[in-house]
Amino acid sequence: MKNIIDTLKASVIEYCSTIGADSLLVQGAGGNVSWKDKDTLWVKASGTWLAEAAEKDIFVPVDLPHLQAAIENGDFSVTPRLSGESSLRPSIETLLHALMPHRVVVHLHAIEILAHLVRDNCQTDFQSLLDDFTSWAMVDYYKPGAALAAAVSAALAQKPNVDVIFLKNHGVVIGGADVAEVSRILDMLTSALSITPASICSKSLPQIPMELGQCDQYAPVQDADIHQLALNADLFNRLDSDWALYPDHVVFLGPRAYTYKTWEALGEQIKSKYEQPELVFIRGGGAFVRLTFNKTKEAQLRCYYDVMSRQEPTINLIELDSGQIDELLNWDAEHHRANLAKLKTLDDTN
Ligand SMILES: [Zn+2]
């Protein structure tokens, strides 16, 4: 038995390294993977990267019967109990893994799937695109953690034998007996749902105009494709209307995009010493960041580009509403009002 579990652990780790290296499947610390070994649920730790599974210890052992008893009692806010030594904290999405009856569970924000899950008609699309694969259920958007776990639990109660749960405006959960089964389902989904991205009109990095000295604290985003978000008129228009589409995006890149019709508009804002955003988009100019813009944020921005470059201009997307954004950012109503006021002033300046 020990050998079987060791082999399972080795295959999960190898799989995590493989999918973690593919930005169309995993972005930064996003996504999580687990396997069950008798009474222990081994789940990815919060904040760790799947891509680093082979080099670092990224899994935490959690008491599975304890979580299952809580789920049985409808307690989805239960704090997972460690069942072994670890200095790491289990993922916020641990309950999703405990809920699924499968031995191996993978939760991802895979681009080819996410690009559909932000659309208003994703449910009907999936019914035709997934053809004879019916082992799935879909849940509406809920805040990751207790609320999402409760919704998934209710979906499983309705359709207990499904291997796939789609989470609107979020991602997918896939369960299987082993890594091979999960991998086969993921491959099938990504190929059935794949969308050709919009073509790229330039591969060179844009520059900041010399005469705008006050903007020199910004540098172009180093991933040349991302500038399409500002160079392509349809994508630029989407920045204002379709920004807050899924949780990690809002958490890492904020509740709104800072868009400017001209470089001068940004220059004016900087001169006024008002808020100086970390990431800005200049229409026809490109995407620019301050030095503080880190690797995790860059991975999220790439994710947004990959999702948006798969949307035809006529497709309707569903943004998270202000209440959903507030709860992700842990803003109380007071903070929200103050922030809205701030945004209003900013809008007046650009
Ligand atoms: Zn997630």
Question: Quick one: pLDDT band at residue 161, thresholds 50, 70, 90?
Answer: very high
Report pLDDT digits (tens) over 171-196.
999 999 999 999 999 999 999 999 99
What confidence tier does 347 reach under pLDDT thresholds 50, 70, 90?
very low
Give the C-alpha separation, 199 to 176, whole Å: 36
How do residues 224-249 score in pLDDT, each as one tens digit? 999 999 999 999 999 999 999 999 99
Q: How far does residue 94's CA lie from ligand 1's centre (Å)?
A: 10
Residue 105: pLDDT band (50, 70, 90) is very high
pLDDT given at position 188: 96
Give the model's pLDDT for residue 344: 39
CA distances for 225 relative to 130, 221, 298, angstroms: 30, 9, 12
pLDDT-based confidence at residue 336 (cuts at 50, 70, 90): very low
Distance 24 CA to ligand 1 centre (A): 14
Centre of ligand 1 from the C-alpha of residue 143, in Å: 10
CA angle (334, 275, 343) in 5-degree steps = 45
pLDDT at 349: 35
How many C-beta atoms lie closer than 10 Å to residue 218's C-beta? 25
Q: How far is the CA of 170 from the centre of ligand 1 (A)?
A: 6
As a whole-number percent, the residues of the chain with pLDDT over 90 amount to 75
Residue 117's identity, in one-letter code, is L
pLDDT at 268: 83
The 8 Å CB, 24+ separation contacts for 337-340 are 339/255
Alpha carbon of 324 to ligand 1 centroid (Å): 15
pLDDT at 141 over 90: yes
According to the model, what pLDDT value does residue 211 have? 67
Gap between the Cα atoms of 46 and 9, Å rounded: 19
* Residue 340 Cα to ligand 1 middle (Å): 27
* Tokens read off for 282: 């200049």
Task: Summarize pLDDT for 266-317 with one digit per residue, the tens.
Answer: 888 877 776 789 999 999 999 999 988 998 899 999 999 999 999 999 999 9
- Checking if the pLDDT of 67 tops 60, the result is yes
- Ligand 1 centroid to Cα of residue 144, in Å, is 7
Angle between helices 263-271 and 333-349 (to 10 degrees): 120
CA–centroid distance, 145 to ligand 1, in Å, is 9
For range 75-87, the mean pLDDT: 92
- pLDDT score for 70: 97
Q: Tell how far the Cα of 290 is from the centroid of ligand 1, in angstroms.
A: 27
